[in-house]
């Protein structure tokens, strides 16, 4: 599986694969209305990773994925530049579960599930370090992984719980705690 996003003028997508079976993280882009697709290799020899997530910041492509050891990695590349840059974000996550990534307008945000069933959230303002971690919710059970969007003033995360309910957590940027709503009962 892979992930797709838009820059506003191009489609961008990422997935693990490679013609030689080398488990490379691949990236494609195509300006709307043109051909062909352009391909780049983000990283090689990355066996054991779950589905990558991709987003556009307005000036850079950002990708996140979790490996089979439960480590979360982040790659980024400014438009029109090379190479791809890689950062280790966190450890102790649910192995190969999908992460989700978004851009808030001034920070990259990532959400994922840890090995104890907690939904975690990281943010990093553009041009800064380190990654800042927050616990969103303690589910206590494995789920398919969170889904997230970055609204103009808040991050919104959804995930089904063990009972099949779909819950929404939200947080205004720069505030605490996370708010919770039940979207649908299972």
Give the tens place of pLDDT for each residue, 71-112.
999 999 999 899 999 999 999 998 878 899 999 999 999 999
| 160 lies in some domain | no
pLDDT of residue 159: 87
Contact between 148 and 156 under an 8 Å Cβ cutoff? The reply is: yes
Owner of token pair 């003028």? 9
Residue 117 pLDDT > 90: no
Q: Answer whether residue 177 is part of any domain.
A: no
Strands 72-78 and 60-66: antiparallel
78 in any annotated domain:
yes
- pLDDT for 22 equals 67
Domain boundaries, position 59: 2-148
Kindly state the DSSP code that residue 114 receives in the 8-state scheme: B
**pLDDT tens-digit map of 150-170:** 999 999 999 887 777 889 999
Q: Is residue 171 a part of any domain in this protein?
A: no
Angstrom distance (rounded) from CA 60 to CA 38: 16
- Domain membership of residue 167 (yes or no) is no
Report if residue 181 sits inside a domain. Answer: no
pLDDT of residue 67: 92
In a domain, 156, yes or no: no
Instruction: Report pLDDT for 20.
Output: 56
178 located within any domain: no
pLDDT in tens, 27-68: 999 999 999 999 999 998 888 888 899 999 999 999 999 999
**CATH number, residue 30:** 2.120.10.10
Q: What is the pLDDT of residue 19?
A: 61
Q: Domain count for the chain, please give it.
A: 1
């Amino acid at each position: 599986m892979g992930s797709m996003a838009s820059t506003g003028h191009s489609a961008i997508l990422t997935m693990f694969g490679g013609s030689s079976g080398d488990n490379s993280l691949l990236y494609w882009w195509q300006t709307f209305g043109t051909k062909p697709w352009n391909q780049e290799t983000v990283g090689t020899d990355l066996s054991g990773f779950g589905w990558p997530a991709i987003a556009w910041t307005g000036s850079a492509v950002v990708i996140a994925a979790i490996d089979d050891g439960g480590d979360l990695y982040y790659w980024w590349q400014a438009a029109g530049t090379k190479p791809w840059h890689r950062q280790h974000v966190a450890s102790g996550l649910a192995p190969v579960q999908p992460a989700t990534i978004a851009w808030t307008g001034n920070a990259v945000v990532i959400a994922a599930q840890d090995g104890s069933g907690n939904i975690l959230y990281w943010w990093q303002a553009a041009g800064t370090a380190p990654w800042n971690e927050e616990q969103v919710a303690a589910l206590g059970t494995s789920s398919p992984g969170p889904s997230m969007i970055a609204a103009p003033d808040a991050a919104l995360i959804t995930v089904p719980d063990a009972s099949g309910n779909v819950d929404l957590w939200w947080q205004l940027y720069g505030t605490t705690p996370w708010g919770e709503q039940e979207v649908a009962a299972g």
